[in-house]
Chains A and B, each alone.
Chain A
Amino acid sequence: MSRVPYHELKARERIAAIVDPGSFSEIIPPPERVMSAYLPKLGIPVAFDDGIAIGRATIAGKPVYLAAQAGQFVGGSVGEVHSAKLVGLLKSAARDRLPCVFLVESGGVRLHEGSSGEIGIAEAIRAVFDCRAAGVPTIAVIGSDIGAYGGMGILSACCDFRLMTEHGRIGISGPIVIEKWMGKEAFDSSNRALVWKTSGGKTRFLLGDAEALVNDSTDAVRDGILSLLSRSAKPDLAFVKARQKFLQERLDTFGKTPDPDAIWAALGVRDVAAATLAEASEFVESFAPKKP
């Protein structure tokens, strides 16, 4: 049962565990000191890489562009420099026609930097669509407890694929915000089980928001990335309309369902308690309904 747990690793450790040894060549590495101009004015310490490491690497010999966010640095939030690195990476991927993989760990826009972060994420999302229009695969790996929220949740949803683990979560408003607006009875943000059942990897996989669900190990994540590298879905009008139809049907079916366990049962999960405890591979194999 020993394995290297992806969710425990820090950004640079995740990169090192996934890529071929020695193959990661960092773009704008820490010594170049391209850092936030805003945080010092607020008395907040800066990070050499502004919370994101980007570069080129190979995974099982296949070249990719790769980014890993450091969720511990201002919540992994996207500021001006951070977003510029994301945009530059995506543009390089489109130019070189190489897949772009994001190891996501972010709460979204860095509010400290005002509109710079908002604009930056918007530019990054446009760059994702440029990649997709060019048939260059974009993959969001969401396997950390912090998850992909806010603008990074949106960006992740815009990628070709989302690879998740049971630890990962994707959403826009975080649990505390939801509770604040809707009340504790509607959503108790201190109930970890509820929070993960609502936005976590297993539920997202069942609902069709995540294309792949893998065990929380760096080996499983690497294999998962490899299986998605050669595919890209061009977001033409037909594609978008089909997706919107799917989402509307899903909303019609589950819009009034009060709890995630009921959704799981309705989707065909027979033993919800066992499925909750099962590891991802067992979940996909034995509990989730087979995908067509």
Chain B
Amino acid sequence: MSAQPRDLRRRNKAARISRASGLASGKLVPHERTADLLRAVIEPGDILCLEGDNQKQADFLAAQLASLDASTMRDIHLVMSCITLPEHIELFKKGMIRKVDFCYAGPQGGAVADLLASGKFPIGAIHTYNEIYARYYIDLTPRVALIAAAKADRAGNLFLAANTEETPAIVEPTAFYDGIVIAQVNEIVDVLPRIDIPTDQVDFVIGAPYPMHLTALFTRDPAAITDVQILMAMVAIQGIYKEYEVESLNHGIGFNTAAIELLLPTYGEELGLKGKICKYWMVNPLPTMIPAIESGWVETVFSVGGEVGMERYTAARPDIYFTGRDGSFHSNRPMGQLAGHYALDMFLGASLQVDIHGNSSTVSKKRITGFGGAPNMGCQPMGRRHPTKAWLKAGREANPGPGSIPGRKLVVQMVETFQAGRVPTFVESLDAQDPSIKAAMQGVAPVMIYGDDVTHLVTEEGIANLGACHTPEERTAAIRGVAGYTPVGLKRSSADTASLRERGIIKLPEDLGVSPARANRSLLAAQEIKDLVRWSGGLYDPPAQFVDW
């Protein structure tokens, strides 16, 4: 038998490392030589992973990559969570990318749509976060991973500080399948506060000339919360949080959820709900959670990422947040998403469009945004086996058959019937179902959350309990019943709506004991960022754009 080599990847890795040998001293490479390093270790055809979720970006490495020539950097299969920077778009404009698999493109949604229309955005698929991390172990293992860390020591160990996020999820599969890990760091020090990634898993470290890009993505200014959002928040608290005794939950980004968080110490307290609901959270360290935490509502918060400005507050609250031996905050995106899937009573989030089946999406022809974590958080966990009160109650309402799981996670979509500019949220058919979009995605429309998985829809009209609807027609009638004066809503039959209201499938604010006259901003525990700073005893450091005093 001929001696066939079985370690081709390992040999190839060694060859790449040796091409870069003149550039590094140990594992450290001077930042001026970054472009040379990338040219040395990346080969055409590689699966390349760029770290960047919607908060933390390896932006120096992205810029260096984008500065390369398309003749040396070509045929790349790009895998990454979030396409957020102009430098990412540059890679496509230069024709470097053969295929892209990603999760979210929010800030670059318009640019991506333009690229797609001109045939320069070859999509593999849009994923939810844990899905792409899972594929890093199956068929999308990165050959080269460009990541970001807060600090490194001279041996190449990495400290991730508050924004751990997805770094381990990228590094582990790459490191253990003979890929190359290159880290940009803010600072190189003698001793790290703690080691988050050991040097064994790191090949090159670059002290970047500027700190990594970090967005305060989850900070919502309470001053922007409207009366309508407060009414909806009161409705949600009465009709869902209290009704189902929601103890563990995740809030999607938005002003609706910020309103709920800020109503707990006031409205929630009035209803006697402290200690009964909202105890265990999977959310980022949101500033709008501070009043509820200080008022004793919260047992624990685990996070997928950090939040700029919350470093001192989280470090001072180790009974609430997960912190390392060094005393500072720790987050983990894949584990947070996993917790969000299996370990929560409820997910509550928003969307831009909802159709008459309850499907929702944020994708349109003008903006290809993708999904982020929503598909994972907003779906039914069919592998779950442990019961809670909320899970059992929602399950009973769904009336499952003998071959079906007896419990349901509460998956709540909370939307106003109109978006800005009187654009209806409710549509007969999603923009995402447009043929040109489906064609770009192998015939599968990019639906973010499927109607079959949704248990409740909350609008300013009230709540529709879709989980208790037993036919598709009933579900559509319930959606029309709370779709207000959108074209979808105007098609409702008053007889159907009245019958659904009688059965308790549609509930108006008054049915829930919510007094609309009380829906105003004075009910919020904090009306502005300054109030949050005061609630935190001065521990919250809002980013400059939020400081107006």
Interface residues, chain A, with chain B CB atoms under 8 Å away: 1-2, 4-5, 7-10, 13, 192-193, 196, 276-277, 279
Interface centre among A4, A5, A276 (most CB of B within 10 A): A5
| Interface flag for B88 (CB, 8 Å) | no
In the complex the two chains form, is A192's CB within 8 Å of B522's CB?
no
Instruction: Identify the 4 closest CB pairs spanning chains A and B, nearest first.
Output: A192-B548, A8-B522, A8-B521, A193-B549
Binds A, one of B12-20, B104-112, B500-508, B530-538: B530-538
Q: Which B residues have a C-beta under 8 Å from some C-beta of A?
A: 265-266, 269, 291, 294, 520-522, 525, 527, 530, 533-535, 538, 547-549
In the complex with contacts A2-B265, A193-B548, A196-B549, A13-B522 CB distance below 8 A: yes
Give the residues in chain B near A7, CB-CB below 8 Å. 527
Q: Which single member of A1, A9, A277, A279 contacts B522 (CB below 8 Å)? A: A9
Q: What chain A residues lie within 8 Å of B534 (beta carbons)?
A: 1, 277, 279
Q: Are A277 and B549 in contact (CB under 8 A)?
A: yes
B294 contact set on A, CB distance < 8 A: 1
Interface centre among B520, B525, B533, B548 (most CB of A within 10 A): B548
Known: A5-B527, A277-B538, A277-B549. 4 other contacts (CB 8 A): A7-B527, A8-B527, A9-B522, A277-B530
25 example contacts (A-B, Cβ-Cβ < 8 A) are as follows A1-B291, A1-B294, A1-B525, A1-B534, A2-B265, A2-B266, A2-B269, A2-B525, A4-B522, A5-B521, A5-B522, A5-B527, A7-B527, A8-B522, A8-B527, A9-B522, A13-B520, A192-B548, A192-B549, A193-B547, A193-B548, A277-B530, A277-B533, A277-B534, A279-B534
Which B residues touch A4, using CB under 8 A?
Answer: 522
CB distance from A264 to the nearest CB of B (A): 13
Contacts of A193 in B (CB 8 A): 547-549
Chain B residues lying within 8 Å of A196, measured Cβ to Cβ, are 549
Report chain A residues within 8 Å CB of B538: 277
Contact B266 A276 (CB under 8 A): no
Q: Nearest Cβ distance between residue A239 and chain B, in whole angstroms?
A: 35
Bound form: Cα–Cα A13–B518 in Å = 11
CA distance A193 to B533 in the complex (A): 15
Tell me if A1 and B535 are in contact (CB < 8 A): yes
Question: Which B residues are in CB contact (< 8 Å) with A1?
Answer: 291, 294, 525, 534-535
Instruction: Say whether A276 contacts B525, CB under 8 Å.
Output: no
Contacts of A8 in B (CB 8 A): 520-522, 527
Which residue of chain A lies nearest to B535 when distances are taken between CB atoms in the complex? A1
Question: What is the chain A residue whose CB lies nearest that of B521?
Answer: A8
Query: In whole angstroms, how far apart are the Cα atoms of A9 and B518 in the complex?
Result: 11
List the B side residues contacting A13 at CB < 8 Å.
520, 522
Docked complex Cα distance between A193 and B545 (Å): 12
Tell me the bound Cα distance from A105 to B294 in angstroms. 33
In angstroms, Cα B527 to Cα A280, docked, is 16
The residue on A at minimum CB distance from B294 is A1
